[in-house]
Amino acid sequence: MSLNIYLSLFALSVLVIFKLKTSSTNHRLPLPPGPPRRWLVGNLLDLPLERPWETYKAWTDKYGDIVYFDFPSKPMIVIGSLKVARDLLDARSRIYSSRPESVMVKMTAWDWAFSIMPYNETWRTLRRHFHDHYTGPALKSFQPVKLQEVRKMLKHILKNPQDIRRHIRNVPGSTIIRVTYGPHSEAQTQHYINLAEKSLEAGKKMSVPGMFFAEAIPLMQYIPSWLPGGYARKFAAEYKPVVEEMVHKPYNEVKKATASGKELPSIAYRLIRQLQGDAESPTPEQDGVARGVTAMAYVGAVDTTTAAIEFACLVLALYPHVQTKLQKEIDAHLGCSRLPEFDDLEHLTYLKAVVLETLRSFPITPLAVPHSVTEDDEYNGFHIPRSTMIFPNQWQVLSMTCVCVCV
């Protein structure tokens, strides 16, 4: 495409943005307070790209518990208190439960993930199957695999303690891969863990508001990576193949084995058989459901559970007296003859308190996944425009709910 065409597209984008901005401000109620917005670019130059939750806390300290700002054409709100979060996300969940549309999510092939999917029938189907296979009573069936993987980790740490972080990071990944796709060799499992971690690297970058101009001006997604402004295409070229391999490769192995009549002890196998029924193979729609559900569990466990374990180790290192107290509780209940089992957890009160405090002190996703408002709304005398992105600052809210056990 010639430079003139790009300039024309940019001019059109500017007109669209201007139209959107003028329509969103034409309302009888004011928008919530926030940092001053510049003409046309809004708060584009104010958005922090590193540790944004800290900047957003400073804004809520200055402007109040609900702060409005905007990336051109994308109004945004940060929630800085538990009360506002409950008032909007819980009490008005009917219009606050959706997720925003994202150019980068589609460009990087992350649009299968129902955790970031707009609230619709596809979302409901994926969530229902995920709930059936990965929550409640289904979790108990995973316990033998979890124990095996944790005890394998302990042996690795004894033999090679300098690599403790790598051993810890492998536990959730190897566990969920075994449960979801069946047994694999150590090399295969490590490859799948690496795929998930690389894919999540893209997800974390995309979750930072203001990181990609293509989100504000969607036409920029078509600019080649070698031209100025083509960062979105360059980013997608790096991460999309990794995300696609992560979603499809382990699932395709199970699907091929199922088609050949081989039974695999895995959720992917059970899900395929459940969805296809008596048919020879699942339909494309059923196939998409099975891929999305299994990939969501796979990629989710690899990062979030790993981070929680690492934070717990950090807490014990920072507060050695807590580690001593934990050891005394465990020894008092178990003695020195065996390792803990799942049934022991109900007797380890202090251990549960330390885990909960770790999750409060070190939230895995400080800003949570953004919500999107599906209708115009009013709150405390302020207008909240339709399609506004809502960022609950979990890091701030949880820091205000201090129940520290590390004393």
Q: Are 370 and 77 in contact (CB under 8 A)?
A: no
Let me know whether 163 and 71 are in one domain: no
On whether residue 107 sits in a domain, the answer given is no
How many domains does the chain divide into?
Answer: 3
Q: Are 401 and 81 in contact (CB under 8 A)?
A: no
On whether residue 217 sits in a domain, the answer given is no
Find tokens 């909240």 and name the residue: 384
Let me know whether 155 and 290 are in one domain: yes
What's the one-letter identity of residue 66?
A: I
The structure tokens listed for 63 are: 């402007």
The structure tokens listed for 211 are: 């990181």
On whether residue 136 sits in a domain, the answer given is yes
Average pLDDT of the residues in 343-365: 91
Return d(Cα 76, Cα 388) in angstroms, integer: 5
Q: Are 167 and 160 in contact (CB under 8 A)?
A: yes
User: Is the predicted pLDDT of residue 158 greater than 80, yes or no?
Assistant: yes
Let me know whether 130 and 275 are in one domain: yes
Per the document, the length of the chain is 407
Lowest model confidence (mean pLDDT) among 62-66, 137-141, 293-297, 344-348: 137-141
Let me know whether 199 and 290 are in one domain: yes
Return d(Cα 351, Cα 249) in angstroms, integer: 38
Domain region containing 73: 1-100+370-399
Average pLDDT of the residues in 54-79: 92
Return d(Cα 28, Cα 383) in angstroms, integer: 8
Q: Are 205 and 193 in contact (CB under 8 A)?
A: no
User: Is the predicted pLDDT of residue 254 greater than 70, yes or no?
Assistant: yes
User: Is the predicted pLDDT of residue 181 greater than 90, yes or no?
Assistant: yes
Average pLDDT of the residues in 362-383: 92
Sign of the alpha-carbon dihedral angle for 207, 209, 215, 221: negative
Average pLDDT, the chain: 87
Share above pLDDT 70 across residues of the chain, in percent, rounded to a whole number: 92
| Beta-bridge mates of residue 256 | none
Task: Return the pLDDT at 218.
Answer: 85
Strand 389-392 versus strand 66-71 pairing type: unpaired
User: Which of 170, 179, 186, 172 is CA-nearest to residue 145?
Assistant: 179
Q: Are 385 and 74 in contact (CB under 8 A)?
A: no
Let me know whether 275 and 352 are in one domain: no
On whether residue 299 sits in a domain, the answer given is yes
pLDDT digits (tens, 9 = 90+) for 300-311: 888 788 888 889
CB atoms within 10 A of CB 401: 8
User: Is the predicted pLDDT of residue 406 greater than 70, yes or no?
Assistant: no
On whether residue 228 sits in a domain, the answer given is yes
Q: Are 9 and 181 in contact (CB under 8 A)?
A: no
Task: Return the pLDDT at 30.
Answer: 93
Let me know whether 121 and 263 are in one domain: yes
Task: Return the pLDDT at 10.
Answer: 56
Let me know whether 170 and 297 are in one domain: yes
Task: Return the pLDDT at 87.
Answer: 96
User: Is the predicted pLDDT of residue 403 greater than 80, yes or no?
Assistant: no
On whether residue 110 sits in a domain, the answer given is no
pLDDT band at 104 (very low <50, low <70, confident <90, very high): very high
Task: Return the pLDDT at 170.
Answer: 87
Task: Return the pLDDT at 251.
Answer: 94
More confident residue, 210 or 288: 288
Task: Return the pLDDT at 383.
Answer: 95
On whether residue 314 sits in a domain, the answer given is no
User: CATH code at 43?
Assistant: 3.30.43.20
Task: Return the pLDDT at 15.
Answer: 47
Task: Return the pLDDT at 11.
Answer: 47
More confident residue, 81 or 43: 81
User: Is the predicted pLDDT of residue 3 greater than 70, yes or no?
Assistant: no
Let me know whether 374 and 359 are in one domain: no
User: Is the predicted pLDDT of residue 8 greater than 80, yes or no?
Assistant: no
CB atoms within 10 A of CB 69: 27
Return d(Cα 344, Cα 132) in angstroms, integer: 26
User: Is the predicted pLDDT of residue 198 greater than 70, yes or no?
Assistant: yes
Let me know whether 164 and 62 are in one domain: no
Let me know whether 11 and 44 are in one domain: yes
pLDDT band at 407 (very low <50, low <70, confident <90, very high): very low
Give the chain's end-to-end CA distance (angstroms, integer): 64
More confident residue, 400 or 342: 342
Eight-class DSSP state of 277: T
Cα-Cα-Cα-Cα torsion 131, 244, 363, 114, nearest 10 degrees, comes to -40
On whether residue 93 sits in a domain, the answer given is yes
Task: Return the pLDDT at 20.
Answer: 54
Let me know whether 164 and 236 are in one domain: yes
User: Which of 74, 94, 96, 73 is CA-nearest to residue 84?
Assistant: 96
Return d(Cα 393, Cα 370) in angstroms, integer: 10
Let me know whether 160 and 302 are in one domain: yes
